[in-house]
Amino acid sequence: MAKNGFTLLEVMVAVVLLTTAVAGLGLALQTGWDSSRRAMLKSKGDALLTLALSEVENPLLNQEGELAAYQASWQYEVEPYLDELYLAKLTVFWQERGTRQSETFAYLTKGEGVYPP
């Protein structure tokens, strides 16, 4: 007597393999999406840092301000570091999909600009 078709065991193995493959594909897509979102947020933060840095008037004084066109704010803090060097920290804050985001840039300054020139 000839048997046509698959046994129950063969069908179950095929379903498990297919489920595993689909789950792996879904995980890969989610990881790619998350990486893309992090890169977009980092890129936006870097752009806002550049804009905020151009608004710092005196590199030796703590300051803060707004980037109204981008619905963002910035905070600049400076503290003595070594001899005539100061550690400056510039942080920008913005809202992204209802979540507060921030990016910080720290560097050394002498008062005339970034050190070393």
Query: What DSSP character marks residue 59?
Result: T
Which of residues 62 and 112 earns the better pLDDT score?
A: 62
pTM of the predicted protein model:
0.72
- How much of the chain exceeds pLDDT 90, in percent? 69
Tokens 């710092």 sit on residue: 56
Residue 20: how many other CB atoms lie within 10 Å: 10
Q: How many helices (H) and strands (E) does the chain have?
A: 1, 4
Amino acid present at 88: A
Look over the chain and give the mean of its residue pLDDT values, rounded to a whole number: 90
pLDDT digits (tens, 9 = 90+) for 68-81: 999 999 999 999 99
pLDDT at 111 over 90: no
How is the chain split into domains, by residue range?
A: 8-109
φ and ψ of 85, to 5 deg: -95, 150
Chain-centre distance of CA 68, in angstroms? Answer: 21
Please report, to the nearest 10 degrees, the dihedral formed by the alpha carbons of residues 94, 99, 100, 104 taken in order: -80
Residues 94 and 44 sit within 8 Å (Cβ to Cβ) = yes
More confident residue, 56 or 113: 56
pLDDT tens string 2-41: 678 889 999 999 999 999 999 999 999 999 999 998 899 8
CA 47, CA 39: separation in Å to the nearest integer? 12
